[in-house]
């Protein structure tokens, strides 16, 4: 069945998370993503935090589903010949090498453009290809620090805090997907490709624009406020019955939700009480309001609290731990948590595609074994069995 990106070939040179997350999303949307890896080694993520010696890591599997793997020595003359042939058939080149690496291999954008003027050349860099920091390398925590995210995360009496959702890596990858899709759309009008560049710092800055807005509103750096969401009351986490480290809910009440909340927790007697009737009044009496809410939530499980309040129209979410996310019935119903069969590992659980297209449903397939598709890709490029065996003997592939 034809899918959204059927007919688009992506040559994926990326490693670790930012680039692979971009390539995987394009593959989920139907592109033919060919992951080009170093023979004998492959993506460094294959060995990251391995839980068993005979199989690629779960980290690698999380970001490389639905791709094909071609092993190729880009430093050898014949390997470069194969790569040139591949680029001529490609629509997108995706890379996240360190500054200057691809240029030194002889595949800078002007050179690649001569091979294939229609190619979209997408690069993910820590700080981009220009600007004072352009030669610096980056990882997730560096991007969070330099993008301002850590400065507004944590509690007032604590240090700037790293957040585990990968806004620097996967966040950058999703920005790159948008750039690639835009370039492919523009190519329909111009017939030509272009460069797409995404900086990890830039992506994080884009994601914390609300805090940057508040800096301008108040004229000072934003302070860390823990779980308190602005001046909304209730607007934080509340302990629930159970006593576990994640037995909390987050409740956020806007003005029109205050009376439904009071009815839901059995305190309709407080409707009209001037101490709590407006947002400003509740902020002045925040300690009392939080105690009122927490005394009610503390007698109920987080799932019961969520069911009651959400059912009453009050935004409330149980703080799911990772195990609960993996077994959440709503996520399973939406194919966000899916089971996949791997040829070595067997069945494992992974995350599905969050983008739901009615005419282009996603089937999740496992990440490829190292070099698993080298024969079929090379045959597509016109190489014979004899030529492929020679490339293998020379360790070109």
User: What is the set of active-site residues?
Assistant: 169
Cα separation, 74 vs 66, whole angstroms: 23
Question: Which alpha helices (DSSP H) does the chain contain, by range?
Answer: 18-28, 58-63, 77-89, 101-104, 109-115, 140-146, 170-190, 200-207, 209-218, 258-264, 279-284, 286-297, 302-311, 322-327, 329-333, 374-380, 385-393
Q: How many beta carbons lie within 10 A of that of residue 215, not counting itself?
A: 14
* Kind of pairing between the strands at 32-37 and 68-71: parallel
Contacts 24+ apart (CB under 8 A), 46-54: 46/370, 48/16, 52/345, 54/344
Tokens of 266: 């059995």
Q: How many beta carbons lie within 10 A of that of residue 189, not counting itself?
A: 7
Cα separation, 359 vs 148, whole angstroms: 39
Query: Greatest CA span in the chain, whole angstroms?
Result: 86
Tokens of 276: 């709590």
Cα separation, 286 vs 276, whole angstroms: 9
Cα separation, 336 vs 352, whole angstroms: 4
């Amino acid at each position: 069945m034809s899918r959204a990106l059927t007919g688009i070939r992506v040559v994926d040179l990326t490693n670790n998370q930012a680039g692979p997350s971009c390539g995987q999303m394009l593959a989920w949307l139907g592109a033919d993503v060919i992951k080009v890896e170093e023979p004998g080694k492959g993506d460094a993520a294959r060995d990251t935090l391995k839980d068993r010696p005979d199989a690629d890591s779960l980290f690698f599997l999380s970001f490389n589903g639905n791709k094909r793997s071609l092993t190729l020595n880009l430093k050898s003359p014949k390997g470069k010949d194969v790569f040139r042939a591949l680029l001529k058939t490609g629509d997108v080149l995706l890379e996240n090498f360190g500054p200057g690496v691809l240029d030194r291999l002889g595949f800078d954008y002007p050179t690649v453009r001569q091979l294939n003027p229609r190619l979209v050349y997408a690069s993910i860099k820590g700080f981009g290809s220009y600007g004072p920091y352009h030669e610096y390398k980056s990882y997730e925590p560096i991007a969070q620090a330099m993008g301002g995210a850590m400065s507004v995360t944590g509690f007032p009496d604590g240090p700037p805090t790293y957040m585990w959702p990968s806004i620097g890596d996967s966040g950058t990858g999703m920005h790159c997907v948008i750039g690639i899709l835009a370039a492919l759309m523009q190519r329909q009008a111009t017939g030509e490709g272009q460069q797409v560049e995404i900086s990890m710092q830039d992506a994080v800055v884009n994601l914390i624009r609300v805090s940057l807005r508040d800096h301008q509103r108040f004229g000072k750096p934003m302070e860390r406020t823990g779980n308190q969401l602005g001046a909304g009351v209730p607007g934080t986490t509340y302990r629930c019955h159970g006593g576990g480290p994640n037995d909390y809910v987050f409740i956020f009440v806007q003005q029109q939700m205050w009376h439904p909340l009071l009815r839901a927790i059995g305190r309709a007697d407080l409707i009209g009480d001037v101490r709590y009737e407006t947002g400003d009044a509740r902020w002045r009496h925040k300690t009392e309001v939080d105690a009122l809410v927490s005394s009610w939530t503390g007698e109920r499980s987080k799932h019961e609290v969520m069911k009651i309040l959400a059912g009453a129209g009050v935004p409330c979410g149980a703080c799911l731990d990772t195990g609960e996310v993996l077994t959440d019935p709503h996520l399973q119903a939406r194919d966000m948590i899916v089971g996949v069969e791997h040829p070595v590992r067997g069945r494992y659980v992974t995350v599905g595609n969050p983008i739901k297209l009615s005419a282009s449903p996603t089937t999740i397939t496992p990440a490829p074994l190292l070099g698993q598709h080298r024969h079929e890709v090379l045959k597509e490029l016109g190489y014979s069995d004899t030529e492929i065996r020679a490339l293998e003997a020379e360790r070109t592939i």
